[in-house]
Structure 1
């Protein structure tokens, strides 16, 4: 009788302590964003609540896989952990993108700075199309789920297709993350140069006053995470190596999720102008 395969060990899941620490770290964030979703219901807080729920679930599964040999040999449990973790990034990335667009709306409700960009206005308008961004991220999630499932197949053709779909998912996430960085830098430049009709916040909470700086840090954390996945997309052993995975994937996500909790960073729904639909 052949030995059983421990898929978790084979995929580089070894640290029980690391998984437990990250699962616990997301618990207070979950309750905070859940409370904010109740008191100040906004899309950002709701999505962050969902993200934290997914991350807690993912790290609990990861701790089970790392701490139990029999669990590590359960292929379905292993696949579930991989899929849940990858799907969760949608919530964090789209929350960041939504927050940048919302902050731009609060600062420039009429979109006058965008229209002053000339030919670039068309490109920026596409970048600010929430439906388009959401569609791209949804496609990335679907491809990631299918690819993650196919990668466990014993059929070489299906396995190859799974690898291709998984990489396509990673690259789509990377492109959207890069667009987030560009959009955030455009926002920062507009505020720094004091563009005409660009309103700045003064005498506001720390998160409102320093929103651009915080958003820049969040975007750089997310691009670090996704750049790591893209750079290791053809080398799964390095991608799943916990010496790289925790500091370059798990930690940037946790830090980014924590920064959303800075008081005043996320605008209340009443602060958003009615013209938001024109940016959607």
Structure 2
């Protein structure tokens, strides 16, 4: 009789302490963004609040998988954890996209205002493409969970990563457009809409840092696309995936970064 397979160790889940620390760090952020959602009801804030909840639960599950032999042998629990980590990035990237759009809405003149740029700023296009990436990622995770060499599942996961990389690059480009637009705009007029808090005054710079953090995450994911072992290596995964996500979320919490609600930029994608 063959011995049970510890899927958690097979996927490189070893550090209980690291998972526990990240779960503890996400706990207050999850509460904060829920409070923010009550005060500032919008789809963008909802995605950020949901991201916090998903990451908090995912890190708890990861800690359990790494600490318990029996839990590590539970394939369904591993799949659930992998799916949560895949789905969660939707909220983080869409949060950056929505908030940059919100600040762009306060700019009087947009640079490079052509068909391509209007397509990038089309919320329906971005939302559907991002959702497609999430769906492909989930399908790939399910297919490769018990057989990492499954060619179809591997192709689906690669397609998902490619979509995320492209959208992250487009978001970084849109952030550069925001920096240029705000430099050209009248600062005093913008203050009337955004206020004078630190986040309101330095929002474009903060979004540049967020864009760089998201790019670090996606460059690592793309660089390790052909090797699940390297991608899940905790020595690299925590500093290059988990940490940039957490730092991005902390930047989203800077007072004034989320501008006053305006229906044209905060409504659900149409």
The question of a shared fold, defined as TM-score above 0.5 by the shorter chain, is answered with yes
Query: Residue by residue, what CA displacement relative to the aligned partner does 1:197-255 show, whole Å, maximum 9, x if unpaired?
Result: 99543860000000000000011111111111111010111110000000000000000
Correspondences of 1:259-278 after superposition (within 5 Å)? 259-269=251-261, 272=262, 274=264
User: What is aligned with 1:254?
Assistant: 246
Are 2:228 and 1:231 equivalent residues in the alignment? no
- RMSD across aligned positions (CA): 2.1
- d(CA) in 1 for partners of 2:187, 2:20: 49
- d(CA) in 2 for partners of 1:147, 1:52: 23
User: What is aligned with 1:25?
Assistant: 25
Given candidates 93, 107, 130, the residue that maps to 2:123 is 130
- d(CA) in 2 for partners of 1:228, 1:27: 26
Structure 2, unaligned runs of 5 or more? none
Correspondences of 1:36-115 after superposition (within 5 Å)? 36-108=36-108, 112-114=109-111
- d(CA) in 1 for partners of 2:256, 2:48: 16
- Provide closer, same or farther for how the CA distance between residues 170 and 220 of structure 1 changes in structure 2, counting only shifts above 3 A: same
- d(CA) in 2 for partners of 1:129, 1:2: 54
User: What is aligned with 1:174?
Assistant: 165
Given candidates 234, 237, 260, the residue that maps to 1:245 is 237
Structure 1, unaligned runs of 5 or more? none
- d(CA) in 2 for partners of 1:132, 1:274: 16
